[in-house]
Amino acid sequence: MSRLLRIRVGLALCTATVIASAACAADPAKVVQPPPPPPPPPPPPPPPPPPPPGPAGYDVIDLGTLGGGLSLPYALNDSGAVVGYSTTATGEPHAFLWRDGAMQDLATGLPISIAQMITNDGRIAGIGRTTDDGDVHVFQWSNGVTTDLGAFAGSNSQVTVTGLRTTALLAWRRNEMDRFESSIWRNGVKELIDGLYAPGNPGGEAQAAAMNDSRQVVGASLMPGFAVHDVYHPFIWENGVTRDLGVLQEFPCEEHPELSCGDGRARDINDRSQVVGISNDSTYQWHAVLWSEGSIHDLGLGVPLTINNAGDIAGNRNLSYGNVPGQAGAGYFWRTGTRTDIGSLGGATVVVAMNGQSTLVGTSLAPDGRPHVFVWKPGQSNPSDLGTGPGDTPGLGAMAVAINERGDVVGYTCDNFTTDGLCTGNPRAVLWRRKAAERLAGAFSLRR
């Protein structure tokens, strides 16, 4: 075969067998390997891990906002409706009602408002201003109707609603001089609650702390004394009459021996007219106190917060609620005069509320250094950790606010907090709602 023929045959073979090389055309005697194929595209990133499951038995719900960056709950009723305040898109704090998955603005016409209490029949009470720099007004919302119950004079006053029933509302005002005035509205009519030392000061000075279903009101009233040492006595008010509940000890003040420095403050009352509060001893330490059937009972050192109709009491170690780094087990529970330390999640612990089934709720610093919400029931050695809200985002803490009769808990997450567990930035309302099966089990156990 001639050289020319061999070249033609080689070209034909290259074409026929589709050898993947341009070198065939140049020199069929020399075989050149094809270039490597391009690398395959990188695999897609794995999907993000699912959020950690919520605490057993609870659905954890972010209640959202009214368009702004924060929301703060104040109370909830037994059907799980929540009230509080949220910022709007323009930054104004407005009272809200959260119910059935939606947040409603209760005070679109007010520049500032806060909903502070809600009853089981849906009656809501709170405060607000009708102008940016005006007096603080007390408001009531019911069946879509807003009622202005009037103003507490003084634009610098702090006003708080501390009692709400179907036909009665209780509130107090603290002015810039740290003095108190309290009023009760019964069937829409406002009445001043007299303090224990009224001469020369109409109404006296009284801070109303709580009200029961019989419209009995308890609190603390300023007594005569010297300017640098305010002394209070606990009172109970009923149908226009204010009565001194008495203190643990009457002892002379060091600076003014002619005056007594025995101090006491009532903090809550149940429907059996049992009252809890604090009273000091001669070393100025606070004792937990129960007033019942005309007698005063010393429960030892501590600060009761609330008493339920079973007579069980919940509270904390001291007036600052034990929010000190490293203080474990600052929450207390009293039953028939015996005090139980409820333990902690690892650090400082504070009880904030208790329901009729004696389930306590509060906040405790966990080993990760973040505040977590907890619940505790009699018989437990330590609280049950409810976590820090939906998704348990790193760096996020959570604080408890209230608990209802079926065990739902409302609180808020916080993206900035101090080492003793106090929120300093961007609260967001959260509901830990008991799952349906848990509610049924709880209801069954109560019936038995």
Low-confidence ranges of the chain (pLDDT < 70): 1-33, 45-54, 154-155, 176, 198-203, 227-228, 319-328, 419-421, 437-448
Which tokens belong to 128?
């607000």
Using one digit for the tens of pLDDT, what is the confidence trace for 225-268? 776 678 999 999 999 999 999 999 999 998 889 999 999 999 99
Question: pTM of the prediction?
Answer: 0.84
The pLDDT of residue 324 is 46
The pLDDT of residue 37 is 74
The pLDDT of residue 438 is 63
Using one digit for the tens of pLDDT, what is the confidence trace for 391-411? 777 889 999 999 999 999 999
The pLDDT of residue 157 is 76
- Residues 6+ away with beta carbon under 8 Å from 26: none
